Amino acid sequence: MAQQPATASPTPDENGSGTRRHPALRTRATELFGVEYPIVQTGMGYVSDARLTAATAEAGGLGVLSAGLLSYEELSRAIDDVRSRTDRPFGVNLRADQPDVVKRVDLLIREKVKVASFALAPREELIKRCKDGGLVVMPSTGARRHVEKVAAWGADAVVVQGGEGGGHTGQVPTSLLLPQARDAAGDIVVLGAGGFFDGRGLVSALAYGADGIAMGTRFLLTTDSPVAQVVKEEYLRRGVDDTVLTLQIDGVPQRVVRGRTIDRLERGTAPGRLLRAAGNAVAFQRMSRTPWKEIVREGLAMKRNHGLSWSQVVMAANAPMLYRTALLDGRPDIGVMATGQVVGLIDDLPSCRELIARIVDEAVDVLERLERGGR
């Protein structure tokens, strides 16, 4: 979509939704991604499907399709599904350690996907392959040194997630990590993640020097999300103190909802946890029909690239089944619910269009108030 020139005062959205515009919300992120608003929906396994990705794109943000748990054939079909729902730019989130990641990158290039997003930093040669093919490269990071590394390797943008964020995350809060990352990122686009859910957060991220925000939990809790309704209602009942950072899912710190499964994993013995993890890994293999040869290759890559022990590799194979059981099967009592601490500030389930319009309107209100001297 062609971008309108910035104006001195907010104007109605051209699509007739009534959403206002403001020059401060036209950032380097909107220019780089070719979207209306500097808002990114992150790639979440079992959550960021074709419907959610397309709904975000249609609402003016950057939707990101999660491909980490999809086979190559499923990814190809999912891209076609997104295309059937929207003609706007979108991204695909890849796992840099997958054995066929080069083949997947080539698929994105052929399909003219706008953005290649990575949960883990891709190798320098993989970034070059993406860029040579016309993809915008956007890794996610949780530390200043990682930002410096991917910026030096040629990434176009970086998602910087603070410790408040859900899933794999670190210890440094967004309010400290984001300005660090901005100072280290040079000229590349920076998206803040972890703790964002409204227009006030968007303006605060811009004040820290970010070019926009990326959100997972907030998009998970929309009507366009595939998560089971009973699970969404469980999320809405949670407060900011109802999350825990645990090592017991895959051996790497993850923020999830505190519940029966996590309590059992935390209390269990190491042999017991490994036995349950192996059982879940077998169940996932049967369900996904992923050849054991590929699973073993992925495990070896994880061990080599991330310094995991064999017990951590087994636990990592356990994670997909735990998440699927909760999010899609509607059994949070025996599964795991990833979430950011921001879950305690969310109390409704809007559509993606309603959510993005609300965030933009709130951001404009804040910006106008600041322009009036805070009155």
In a domain, 6, yes or no: no
What pLDDT is stored for residue 10 in this prediction? 41
CATH number at residue 74: 3.20.20.70
Same domain? 330 vs 354: no
Q: Which amino acid is at 242?
A: D
**Within-domain flag for 9:** no
pLDDT for residue 294: 61
Same-domain check for residues 216 and 249: no
Same domain assignment for residues 216 and 282: no
Please give the full DSSP string across 259-324, using - where no structure is assigned.
-HHHHHHHHS-HHHHHHHHHHHHHHHHHHH---HHHHHHHHHHHHHHH---HHHHHHHHHHHHHHH
144 shares a domain with 34: yes
Report pLDDT digits (tens) over 210-221: 999 999 999 999
Residue 3 lies in a domain: no
Q: Which residue has the tokens 């077998």?
A: 282
Residues 144 and 269 in one domain: no
Give the Cα separation of 265 and 56 in Å (integer): 35
Instruction: Write out the two tokens for 285.
Output: 């293999």
pLDDT of residue 64: 98
Per-residue tokens: 142: 């949780």
Query: Could you tell me what percentage of the chain is helix, strand and coil, using 3-state DSSP and rounding each to the nearest 5?
Result: 45, 15, 40
Task: Tell me what pLDDT residue 341 has.
Answer: 93
Indicate if 191 and 267 belong to the same structural domain: no
- Per-residue pLDDT tens over the stretch 161-203: 999 998 888 889 999 999 999 999 999 999 999 999 999 999 9
85 found inside a domain: yes
Name the CA radius of gyration of the chain, rounded: 20
Chain centre distance of CA 154: 21
Task: Tell me, yes or no, whether 292 and 356 share the same domain.
Answer: no
The answer to whether 207 and 293 have CB atoms below 8 angstroms apart is no
Give me the pLDDT at residue 48, please: 97
pLDDT on residue 245: 83
For residues 78 and 50, the answer to whether their CB atoms sit within 8 Å is yes
Helices (H), the chain: 28-33, 50-58, 72-85, 101-110, 124-132, 144-153, 174-184, 199-207, 217-220, 229-236, 260-267, 270-288, 292-306, 310-327, 352-371
Residue 71, SS3 per DSSP:
coil
The answer to whether residues 222 and 148 belong to one domain is yes
Instruction: State how far the Cα of 213 lies from the Cα of 164, in Å rounded to an integer.
Output: 14
Domain residue limits at 63: 23-226+347-371
11 inside domain:
no
> Tokens for 257?
């909802």
Q: Are residues 171 and 62 in the same domain?
A: yes
Identify the three-state secondary structure at position 3. Answer: coil
Long-range contacts of 4-13 (CB under 8 A, 24+ apart): 10/364, 10/368, 13/60, 13/357
Whether residue 234 lies inside any domain: the answer is: no
- Asked whether 181 and 141 are in contact (CB, 8 A), the reply is yes
**Cβ neighbours, 10 Å, residue 368:** 13
362 and 303 in a single domain? The answer is no
Domains held by the chain: number: 2
**CA gap 91, 96 in Å, rounded:** 15
Same-domain pairing of 313 and 254: yes
pLDDT at residue 322, rounded to an integer: 73
> For residue 2, what pLDDT is reported?
38
Which residues of the chain fall below pLDDT 70? Answer: 1-19, 248, 250-251, 260-321
Is residue 133 in some structural domain? Answer: yes
Contact 22, 44 (CB under 8 A): no
* Same domain flag for 178 and 262: no
The answer to the question of residue 8 being in a domain is no
